[in-house]
Amino acid sequence: MFSKLLLPVITVLATLSSITEATGRTHNGHTTAPRPTIKPYPYTTGKQFPASPRRTRHCFVDALGNGKDDSDNILAAARKCNDGGTIALMDDLYIIGKALDLTFLKHVDFDIQGTLKFVPDVAYWEANSFKFTFQGANTMILFGGEDINIFGSGKGTIDGSGQTWWDGYAKNSSIYRPMMVGVSGMKGGTWSGLRMINPPNWFNWITDSNDIIYDNIRLDVFSVNSNSPKNTDGWDTYRTDNVIVQNSIVNNTDDCFSWKPNSTNIVVQNNQCTGSHGMSIGSLGQYDGVYDLVENVLIYNTTMKNVGSAARIKVYPDINPNVPNNGMSGGGLGMVNNITYDGMHINSADWAIEVTQCYGQSNRTICTEYPSKLAIQDIWFKNFDGVASKKYDPKVATLVCSSPNVCQCIHTDNINVKPPSGKPAQHVCANLYRGFLKTLNCVDS
């Protein structure tokens, strides 16, 4: 399914600008940048990515300054330069004080050379963010449409002002924290050369979209006090197909990448994750009776540093009929199929590999009594190296299925992750065929 691209990648970083139409590429002393040419490398999904024609005009957005809201001008530029133009944001700082619905875009580029900073107005965003039904997802800005390129030339930044929400969460864990950047209904596009910092919740929420490449993206979170960032996933995909994320750096406190239900044909390659919960399939099977699918995924050449888990698959068990259930704590149907983790380089991970069909249920006896309805099959973990953390030493991996009937064809090969004590590595294995687990030293618990 996955194809290896033999041509070299051409990654020319780009820039962006501001709201009068211009025929040239210079405005108020700023010069626009060429759109970078982004190619998947070394692997692609095997599916096509649509061509993107050259843009023929520019709309420059001049920042108002003095803390004034630039949202209306950005929206006006997007409408004016839609269908063949480039929206250029080239000043140092743009304030985003309103929810921006940019799902009408077609054949348009964004050249971002400055910082787009969301105002930290909790009451406004709780009332006006874009709401989704899945897991309470909501976002402050939405991009969607056809053939959209967003590039930052290595200096464009999107700032979610997350500290205000983390401080609020420390006092009230039910505070409604929005995801920072939403992609909904995007059909063809690229994101490149951007930095994103301090989202209130997830960085990137991608739903009902296809044919998108992210390249050379940096995600960072940092708190200025003792209230740490919360749920700062890097990318979460949902009902999305044919996506590549490559050559990117993530410093966060939750999943580096999370494949939510109905994510298919995705390659994540040549990335580095620090402080994360892992490259995570799931969680899946959360909603009673709902069918979830994650299929055809390759995670290649990843460096994982100071993480909870490196390679992770997390699935809910079936519902315990003796325990009240709100319809959101297991019992889902579906499948995780054809997933490959190839080349993980680990520097301190609690688990180099974590597979569980008991997510959300700490009692393994109950989990085994009510095994998951969601199958895990045709999975490969191979070519892992490095050192685990001290947390479970000498155990370095856990592969625990709720039933062998729905957890089949799990393969490992060339797993060379050592515990820091220097003892022989141990791997917890339950309810799966051990004949496929090459180079593992399986123990029961």
Indicate which residues carry an active-site annotation.
277
**310 close to 280: Cβ distance less than 8 angstroms:** no
* Count of alpha carbons within 13 angstroms of residue 143, beta-carbon side: 28
* CA atoms in the 13 A half-sphere facing the CB of 318: 15
How does strand 204-207 pair with strand 255-259?
unpaired
The type of residue at 84 is G
Going by the DSSP 8-state scheme, the letter that residue 69 receives in this structure is B
Backbone angles phi, psi at 80, to 5 degrees: -70, -40
Q: Are 160 and 199 in contact (CB under 8 A)?
A: yes
DSSP string covering 377-398: EEEEEEEEEEE--STTTTEEEE
Angle, CA of 329, 331 and 333, to the nearest 5°: 130
CA distances from 293 to 85, 184, 185, 239, 260 (A): 37, 19, 19, 9, 8
380 DSSP β-pair partners: 340, 411
Contact (CB, 8 A) for 266 and 296: yes
Q: List the one residue out of 242, 211, 225, 132 whose CA is nearest residue 179.
A: 132
Residues 203, 193, 218, 74, Cα dihedral to 10°: -30
Cis amide bond preceding 42, omega within 30: yes
